[in-house]
Structure formats: C-alpha cells, structure tokens
Structure 1
C-alpha cells in the first residue's frame, strides 16, 4: 500500500507540472543600463505594442512567451539628447529546464504547461547594456566660427578670385 501511494505521488508530480514553469516561471526580470545613464528606453513587443517606457538604469519584468510554442521578442530603443539612438533586440530561446521534462518524463509539462505559459523560453540577453555614441556636430551646426584648411587646388574658382595674397616668400 505504501509503495502504491508513493508511486502515485511521484507519477502525479512528474506529469502535472512543467520543469521550466516550476523553476523559471512565465516572466523574466531584465536590467537595462546605458552609458551615459538616464537615457530614455522604450520596449516594444513583436506586435508593435509598447510594453514599457522609462529611464536607465531600469529593471523590467517581461513575459517569456506570447502564446502556445511562441517565444517573446522585444525591441528596446535607447534615446538621449546629444547621442545617437540605439536599438537592441531581446529574443526568447529554449530554456534548459524545458529539456528536463524529457528526462523526468513530464509529458504534460513538455507539451502543455511550459509551452502555454511561455516558461519554456529564456529572454536573451538578460542584462542589456547600451553604449550610446555622441552625435557628431560641426561648428557650422552650432553657429560657431570654424577654420577649414584646404589645398589651393581644392578651392573653388569663384572663391579664389576673391582671395587676397597675404604674403610671398
């Protein structure tokens, strides 16, 4: 009788849950940082819907899946005045704990629980670090005086006609 109850409990626990669902869950917390700090971030899912906006550094919890056997994918856009916009892709890949369903015989976890909850996926990269490049602005764009050095042969003819000879050697 004792063996029957023990066997029943083991069988039920192996078939009623998914390993990835138990260990990982259906959401994942990711960190977003930028250099320089305090860049604005916008996270958009693959349907084009904004799921989060904020300022770096930020910690955001995102869904791992978008449906039955469908991994989540996100586009993270970093923006800051004076810097070029940078976009990073975050995508779902198969979680190692999902494979444990095969080893431990969790057929329901393998085919139903983990794929339906999205727990079978891991979002990568889990720590998103973006280095923003400074915009290259010229002195003319800033309305400042500038000095341009050119060869005489590269000066336009009309400008050369207006030029004055400063000194001769």
Structure 2
C-alpha cells in the first residue's frame, strides 16, 4: 500500500509540474556591466515601475513572466556623469524546457504551471555590457554652441558688453 501511495505521489508530482518550472524556475539572474564601471542603472518593468536601482557591475534576479502567458520585459538605463545615457531592452522569449512538456507529456505544465509562473520564458540578453560614450561639448566637436543663462547669473562686466535684443 505504501509503495502504491509513493508511486502515485511521484507520478502526480511529475505530471502536475512543468519542465521549465523544474529546470529554469520563475526568475532569472542577469548581470549588468558598463564601461566605465560604477554607472547608475535603473531597471523598469512594462508598467514603468522601478524594479531595481544600483551601480554597475550588478547581478539582479528578475521575474521571467508578468502573468498567464505574458512574458516580462524590462528597460535598463545606464547613466554616469560626463557620459551619454544608454538604454537596453531585456525581453522574454520561449524557453526550450517549455517545449519539453510536449515530449514528456506534461500537459498541465504546458498549459497551466509554466505559463502561470513565467517559467516558460527566458530573458534575453542575459549578460548586458554597456559601453557609455563620453559627452562632448559643441566646441570639442568643432561646432558652434549656444549658452542660455539667467541675467542674475551674468557678471556686471559681461552685462556691460552685452547687447539687448528688442522684443516685438
């Protein structure tokens, strides 16, 4: 009797779970690096909510799904003073272990468990390496530039040399 109970418990656990849930899980760990190091990263989800903020290099665990048959997507923004801001998209694609449900007869895993937990998806790219470009002023680029300042911020000597433009 005990053997039958144990065998049925094992059989139920194998058929009531999904391959992707077993082998991959509902979360995924991603690494974020930047050149130069110590750039501020902000990770936001599809709804625009901040999921993580920190400095590079960083390792962050993110959810693979956002609901039943809905993959997660994240916008990762890299910022550092003196450098241009860079954004990278992280999106979900179907996990190979999810397809294994077809091979192993895991119908419940195929239709319920893996889609509900988000384990049916893999986040790509899994390693994000951002190279931030240095900001250049117009003078460095060989172009003309325009600086806008408040009158209160301008020295009296400079105001004496300034020419007023009349308004209409």
Verify same fold: TM over 0.5: yes
Say if 2:61 is the partner of 1:64.
Answer: no
Deviation at 1:6, TM superposition (A): 8.6
Match of 2:88 in 1: 88
Q: SS at 2:41's partner residue?
A: strand
Normalised by the length of structure 1, the TM-score is 0.77
Is the 1:37–1:57 Cα contact (8 Å) retained in structure 2?
Answer: yes
Per-residue CA deviations over 1:12-69 (Å, capped at 9, x if unaligned) read 2431110000110000000000000000000000000000000000000000000000
Q: How do 1:8-157 residues align onto structure 2 when only pairs under 5 Å count?
A: 8=8, 11-137=11-137, 138=139
Distance 1:68 1:27 in 2: 15
- In the alignment, the residues of structure 1 paired with residue 115 and residue 4 of structure 2 have an alpha-carbon distance, to the nearest angstrom, of 31
Aligned residues: 142
Deviates more, 1:131-140 or 1:54-63: 131-140
Instruction: Report the 3-state secondary structure (helix = DSSP H, G, I; strand = E; otherwise coil) of the residue aligned with 1:98.
Output: helix
Shift of 1:133: 0.6
Q: What TM-score do the two structures reach when normalised by structure 2?
A: 0.77
Pair member with larger Rg: 1
Structure 2 runs not aligned, ≥5 long: 146-168
